[in-house]
Structure 1
Amino acid sequence: MSGGDGAQVQIAPMEPGDIAEALAIQAQAYPASLQEDAAVFAARLALSPSFCFTARRAGAMAGYLIAHGWERANPPAIGTLTGPAGASEVLYIHDLAIAPGARGLRLGERLVARAFDAARASGLCEAELVAVEGAHSFWHRLGFREGHSPAIAAKIVSYGVGARWMQLEEISPA
């Protein structure tokens, strides 16, 4: 599929060798308080590699999505290296970032669609995330709704002011 500028876009599984490029995009997309280091990226990728993808244009990474199976209503704090606290009950979208020069090409939606396909194939039919930096409107368009509870509010404090825990009750086919 081509972007608006005609550049070919490829969505592919994320590999450990992709982490350095993903960190560069993360640095452009998020404030320092939300940036994680290579060890955290590697731990998340190792947790559920079948749910992590990259988008490339002309060979260069233009975006990435890191997701994994996780326990329902238990978002991990930023920077944690721990494995799941319980059973993988939902697809947890940990991080989605698009390089500034590739925004507007619908890469985020394409990355999420690939993760949803993988989740359904693994028997996961719900998804959760913490929206930061005003991204909640993007996630609303994909069907996510905000959830509220004192327990969740305490868990997402590390994500900063304005962070919103969101859930999708049914991952539907694209």
Structure 2
Amino acid sequence: MSADFLIDNLRVTDLPSVLSIQSESYPGYLVESRQVFLSRLSLKNSCCLAAREGELLLGYMIAHGWQADDPPPLGIVVEMAEQSDVLFIHDLAVSNSGRGRGIGKKLVEHAFDCARSKGMTVAQLVAVEGATRYWRGLGFTEAQTAGNLRAKVREYGADARWMSRLIPAGSTNS
């Protein structure tokens, strides 16, 4: 496969491929329904993206504006957020055939550009399944959790970690 791929907006018609990539990337308790993904695509401050090689979906990112330090519960259909303090990165997955090509990093960079255009300056996420090191490599740091936030993060699994970072000023894409 060539190293060339295109990043653009994730579309409703991509959802069958998204669900397939999700299933190959995550254990069953983290697999979410089409309706969950559709609800995030529909949010006003959606920054949901796709990495494509021709018609083939290589990876996706589900990200959207949300309230700071308050991730939506896992597996829930969300409605319009009242405010968008931060970019919440809900999900990032790359197909087995797309791994090792820098797709995840490019999806994050494009999501930062999208968030910046909507006035967001901070990104937050829950790192799952040992992905903390990956996210650290992209500049995210672990943040302390307590109370309601700690309980929500635990819903994502025993090794889940709450992480955040500032969105860099200016375009991150070359």
Structure 1 unaligned segments of length 5 or more: list them.
Answer: none
Does the 8 A contact of 1:67 with 1:93 survive in 2?
yes
Q: 1:131 corresponds to which letter in structure 2?
A: A
Aligned residues: 170
State the shift of 1:17 in Å. 0.8
State whether structure 2 residue 10 is matched by structure 1 residue 42.
Answer: no
Identity of counterpart residues, as a percentage?
Answer: 41
Does the 8 A contact of 2:43 with 2:81 survive in 1?
no
State which drifts further: 41-50 or 102-111.
Answer: 41-50
User: For the structure 1 residues 90 and 47, does the alpha-carbon distance in structure 2 shift closer, same or farther, using more than 3 Å as the test?
Assistant: same
Which position in structure 2 is the counterpart of 1:107?
103
Q: Which of 21, 27, 35 is 1:25 aligned to?
A: 21
State whether structure 2 residue 164 is matched by structure 1 residue 167.
Answer: yes
State the shift of 1:87 in Å. 1.4
Structure 2 unaligned segments of length 5 or more: list them.
Answer: none
Aligned runs of 1:1-174 on 2, under 5 Å? 5-48=1-44, 50-83=46-79, 86-151=82-147, 152-172=149-169, 173-174=171-172
Runs of 4+ aligned residues of structure 1 deviating over 3 Å after TM superposition are 170-173
Does the 8 A contact of 1:26 with 1:97 survive in 2?
yes
Does the 8 A contact of 1:71 with 1:84 survive in 2?
no
Does the 8 A contact of 1:7 with 1:58 survive in 2?
no
Task: Provide TM-score, normalisation by structure 1.
Answer: 0.92
Does the 8 A contact of 1:48 with 1:67 survive in 2?
no
Does the 8 A contact of 1:14 with 1:49 survive in 2?
no
Task: Provide TM-score, normalisation by structure 2.
Answer: 0.92
Q: CA RMSD in A?
A: 1.5
Does the 8 A contact of 1:63 with 1:99 survive in 2?
yes
> 1 CA distance for matches of 2:31 and 2:153?
15
Does the 8 A contact of 1:136 with 1:164 survive in 2?
yes
